[in-house]
Amino acid sequence: MVGRRQGEALLIGDSIEVQVLEVSGNRVKLGIKAPRDISVVRREIALTIVENLSAAGELPCELLATVLESITVP
């Protein structure tokens, strides 16, 4: 864990810099400098991309049907 104040920064490896630009209430605004080939994305977006890619693939139909049947409105 690393404690930082507004205006301070930290380095990840040699090429990624994260700076605390603004702290307001419970929100923190970060500035990130990273090489172009490093993807910077909100965690929840990254998780949803992975979920969507999986969801669009083949679902195990038999198992899915069993589970869906169990939650189907009578």
Residues engaged in binding other proteins (CB under 8 A)? 42, 44-45, 47-57, 59-60, 63-64, 67-74
Nearest CB to other proteins, comparing residues 2 and 61 = 61
- For 57, the token pair is 């693939």
Q: Which is nearer to other proteins, 2 or 63 (CB)?
A: 63
As measured in angstroms, the least distance from the Cβ of 11 to other proteins is 25
Q: Which is nearer to other proteins, 21 or 64 (CB)?
A: 64
Question: Phi-psi bin for 28: left (phi > 0), alpha (psi -120 to 50), beta?
Answer: beta
